[in-house]
Amino acid sequence: MKSHPYKINCPDRLDTLKVIIINQRKKNKTRASYELYGIACVNGSTEVDRVQYAPTSADFSLVSTKAAIACYLEVYDMVAEFRGAWKSDDVAKVVAYDKYPEA
């Protein structure tokens, strides 16, 4: 059964995800303008995988559909879109989805 993606609206959670993704981008030296990340919490640690990327927003819209995000939520706890087409990662936008609705 596919998970329904619930959009994360909590600013603190989104800021934390942004920091995690920026650190992952620095660690792996990835620099795509648009990236989709899967985040899994396993045994007290956080695993972050870049699962898709694209050079333009038009290309990214093809890989970041609700259906694709629902499929990734079968494997990951959260899925985050990193839209960093600006000069600095600090002003990038993060849109994230969870398996469960926020309380």
Q: Domain count of the chain?
A: 1
**How does pLDDT run across 24-75, given as a tens digit for each residue?**
999 999 889 999 999 999 888 999 999 999 999 999 999 999 999 999 999 9
Q: How many helices (H) and strands (E) does the chain have?
A: 3, 5
Residue in 78, 7, 11 with CA at minimum distance from that of residue 41: 78
The per-residue pLDDT for 67 is 93
Q: Which residue has the higher pLDDT, 81 or 90?
A: 81
Residue 103 located in a structural domain: no
The per-residue pLDDT for 81 is 96
Residue in 100, 99, 96, 92 with CA at minimum distance from that of residue 7: 96
The per-residue pLDDT for 26 is 92
Domain limits at 33? 6-98
Residue 56 located in a structural domain: yes
* Kind plus residue range of the DSSP H or E element containing 58: helix 57-63
**Whole-number Å distance between alpha carbons of 80 and 87:** 20
Dihedral over Cα of 13, 15, 19, 22: its sign: positive
At residue 67, what is the residue type?
Answer: A
Residue 20 located in a structural domain: yes
Residue 1 located in a structural domain: no
Whether pLDDT at 85 is above 70: no
The per-residue pLDDT for 3 is 66
The per-residue pLDDT for 2 is 64
Residue 21 located in a structural domain: yes
